[in-house]
Structure 1
Amino acid sequence: MKPSRSNIAIFIALLFHVSGFVGMVFTPYKNWFVQNTPLNLCLMAALIIWTHEEKNLSFYFFFAIAFLVGMGTEMIGVNTGKLFGSYEYGGTLGPKFNNVPWLIGLNWVVVIFCVAAVMQKIFAWMKRKMEGQQTVMPKRIQTLSLLVDGATLAAFFDWVMEPVAIKLGYWQWKNNEVPLYNYVCWFAISFVLLLIMRWMRFQKANHFAVQLFIIQLLFFMALRIYLV
């Protein structure tokens, strides 16, 4: 039987993340693997697009919005300290615009899209469960839960990633302390992006994006144990 696009993408994502973990932790080539972070993130974004079914103009438009919002908020944060806190980016993540790596905008796209896919998966499971019990969750409760739980999940992902990113030189915080305000901003910005995504008319379900979120979360958790 011919493997699906999703299964091929999951295999590639596992290959890259497992190889990256082994390379960073157990080989003398840690710096080489760290320097190739941009390649990994660009590939994961490309795989999301490749595996997504029923792509339309709104799908690509959301990618553009999430990228621009991510870049814009990060530029405000880096240059003024009014969002996230006092921090600066290193050179690991590649070329910058106004002190923010272009790759950070793409990271916002990937994280938000994967979180939305996870929440879509959870809600589909809950819907089947409730239909079996002949109950229905009110539409407003569904939307609120999607936004709040999704934004919380995005902020949690950043919390897991932060010490690893600092250790690998992605960015640095003033006094080496990550402020609580950073996670508040992550929650608020994620909430807004998820709301925009909710409004836009395109297929939100993406099996690969769900698996990618799990893979990346486990990847950073493992690095947090071994490197931090």
Structure 2
Amino acid sequence: MTKYTSKEKEMIRRIAVIYAVGIAGFSVPFTHRTFMQLTPLVLLLSLFLLIWYDRDRSKGRQLNRKLFYLLVFTAGFLIEMWGVNTGALFGSYLYGDGLGPKIAGTPLLIGLNWVLMIYLTSAIFTPLRRNLLIGILWPSLLMVGYDLVMEQAAPRMDMWSWQYGVVPLQNYLMWALLSLTFHTIRYAMKVCDYNRMALPLFVVQAVFFLLILLLN
């Protein structure tokens, strides 16, 4: 079990406070719009936090990591662009203004969101024994479980919305397929992510979306 230093515990508390303020802000109609506009900033801050606490132990495979996450960003963005403009991959949905500037109806930050999710789920399991179950299957299932909550909360944050307000099964199947694909490529490239803040941030974000869903 990971033992956190006093400084790390303080950082975790600060992360929790930031997201708690976000929950309160989204729950009050007067401030809802303002906090919606702050969503991209919080996403970027979360990414910078992970970069700060990242510990590269890839033993000469730094280039592999950079190439892999460039692939995730590019592929994630292009797949989302295809999906939102055709409805062929995830089902019929539209992006709102909650994730910032868009190209062809697709927020630029959605590529970073894929990077964030792959990295978080990778780093949570990397300290464990390396095998196909821990390296590919469990991280992928964790992503699908996270998506089950996020998809319900996203429309309330104007991130994206689904036709008729119903998330199709097709979306979750595609998420599972993409998660398995990205984590399989990562595993094959021997990309290992070590970050002590990955699990706390993942838990805080999951609780955040769950409370947004329950309170709004």
Identify whether the pair has TM-score above 0.5, normalized to the shorter chain.
yes
Alignment length (residue pairs) = 208
C-alpha displacement of 1:107: 0.7
Say whether 1:91 aligns with 2:97: yes
Distance 2:64 2:21 in 1: 34
CA contact (8 A) 1:160 1:221 kept: yes
**AA in 2 matched with 1:221:** L
Distance in 2 separating the partners of 1:149 and 1:203: 15
- Whether 2:108 is the aligned partner of 1:102: answer yes
Gapped regions of structure 1 (runs ≥ 5): 128-138
Please state if 1:187 is matched with 2:176.
yes
Q: What does residue 210 of structure 2 align with?
A: 221
User: Which of 79, 82, 105 is the equivalent residue of 2:88?
Assistant: 82
Deviation at residue 58 of structure 1 after TM alignment = 2.7
For residues 146-201 of structure 1, give each alpha carbon's deviation from its aligned partner in whole angstroms, at most 9, with x where no partner exists: 32222121111111011211122111111111100000000000111111221234
| CA spacing shift, 1:199–1:79, aligned 2, 3 Å | same
CA–CA distance in 2 between the matches of 1:87 and 1:53? 37
1:130 equivalent in structure 2: none
Give 1:1-228 correspondences, 5 Å limit.
4=7, 6-7=8-9, 9-26=11-28, 28-54=30-56, 56-121=62-127, 124=128, 127=129, 142-227=131-216
In 2, are the aligned partners of 1:45 and 1:110 still within 8 Å (CA)? yes
Distance in 1, Cα, partners of 2:133 & 2:148: 22
Instruction: Say which SS state the counterpart of residue 88 (structure 1) adopts.
Output: strand
The percentage of aligned residue pairs carrying the same residue is 34
Cα distance in 1 between the residues matched to 2:84 and 2:63: 32
Q: 1:8 to 1:193 in 2, by over 3 A?
A: farther
Q: Secondary structure at the match of 1:116?
A: helix
* C-alpha contact (below 8 Å) 1:67/1:109 kept by paired residues: yes
Which deviates further from its counterpart, 197-206 or 185-194? Answer: 197-206
SS at match of 1:185: helix
Q: Please tell me the residue identity of whatever aligns with 1:24.
A: F
Q: After superposition, what is the alpha-carbon deviation per residue over 1:6-60, rounded to whole angstroms, capped at 9, x for unaligned?
A: 5565344223211111222257312111110000001111111111012733333
Q: Which ranges in structure 2 are unaligned for 5 or more consecutive residues?
A: none
Larger radius of gyration: 1
